[in-house]
Structure 1
Amino acid sequence: AAQLLQLEGWDVAIEEIHHRGKADAPSGTARVLATRLQHAIDAKREPVYPLPAERRLDENQFAVGVLRIGSEFGTHRLLLDGPYDWIEITHRAKSRDGFAYGAVRAVEWLIGRTGFFTFQEVLNDILTHREE
């Protein structure tokens, strides 16, 4: 995605959808995704949370849209619009079971370790099979 955005004529946006009772908007996941995207494109664009109705995006900005509806567990979409193609990458949680599984895996990872850790450290070790 970041490589496409280096090409002329490509634009990007992030959209996240959660249940109507969710307290934070945008979600932490959407904010992390926006920050990672911003770093991947060398901070050439900044996220706007959410886009105010009375103004347009500047060339150096991208929108992070928020929807709250019903009992939606969580959907995050990365939208890329180019001169000839539209690319959409979507992650949709099918239930809250995945969140519980992730919490249990993180606790298992902590066994035998001391100190303070970020979830990024936990995730990196689990994904690269360095769980020792």
Structure 2
Amino acid sequence: MLRSVALGAGLVVLSSSATVLVAAQMYRMAPAATAPALAALYLLKVLVLGWVLLAVGAPGWLASRAFAVTVLAGLVLSTALFALLVRHVTAGMTDRPEPALSGADGGANRPLGGIPQIREATGGPHHHESETS
């Protein structure tokens, strides 16, 4: 039974670690490619685990109930840890005050989320030139 628990915990740790490492590395290198990379990693994990289950099969010593309980408990624990990690990493992003926008309108035309508007050199965000003039 101890080997079954160790195998279940090891699989969860290996899978979760791969997810964290790929997410962190991809976010540093190419943030827009993070979600597709995680989707590809998920597909790879499903294919490898499926191949192991179908081609290799379970070893004779595997205590299936202990293995399943360990995997489920590990997944719940890793999900809780990931939630704390994400909260810690993003805390600095959400606690920042929005920059004050100055101007004639006193910031009344500030876009949602505090994202500054792009102002063109021709007169601001509301200036539109006709292409037919």
Greater Rg by CA:
2
> Shorter chain as normaliser: what TM range?
under 0.3
More helix by share: 2
Instruction: Give the TM-score normalised by structure 1.
Output: 0.24
More strand by share: 1
